[in-house]
Amino acid sequence: MKFDDSVPIYLQIKEEIENAIITNSLKEEEAIPSIRTLAQQYRLNPQTIANAVSELMTEGVIFKKRGIGMFVEKGAQLKLRKKKNQKFHSDDLLKVIQKSRSLGISKTELIATIDTLYNEGGK
């Protein structure tokens, strides 16, 4: 994985785990790799991984079973999708609307373009 220097690495790892849950690569109630395994996989300090995992635990996305490991919380996928949808609406979509207005693109034009791109699968 190539890391973005403008974002703390532990947040990028956290996002990787979140995306794995959203895409069902990590299923609810399924064990996630240990901190040591993830540290080796990403070639990072275990504390960096622990910081990402700690945030996910605080947010109720994963939980720890003492002596067994860490698992994806039931309902985590829906929780993460809601969170990412809200972020998309408040950040990304708002920027598109603001940019469209500044370029003089009408709402009708914007919606038509979105419809076309959406139907083409975003290509």
**pLDDT tens column, 2-52:** 899 999 999 999 999 999 999 999 999 999 999 999 999 999 999 999 999
Do 66 and 88 share a structural domain? no
The residue type at 103: L
User: Which structural domain, as residue segments, surrounds residue 112?
Assistant: 77-119
Question: What is the pLDDT confidence band of residue 121, given thresholds at 50, 70 and 90?
Answer: confident
User: Is residue 33 a part of any domain in this protein?
Assistant: yes
How high is the mean pLDDT of the chain? 94
Angle between helices 46-58 and 35-42 (to 10 degrees): 130
Is position 23 within any domain?
yes
Cβ 48 vs Cβ 14: under 8 Å = no
pTM for the whole structure: 0.80
Whether residue 55 sits in one domain with residue 98:
no
Residue 22 maps to a domain: yes
27 and 65 assigned to the same domain: yes
Give how many domains the chain has, as a whole number. 2
Domain shared by 41 and 83, yes or no: no
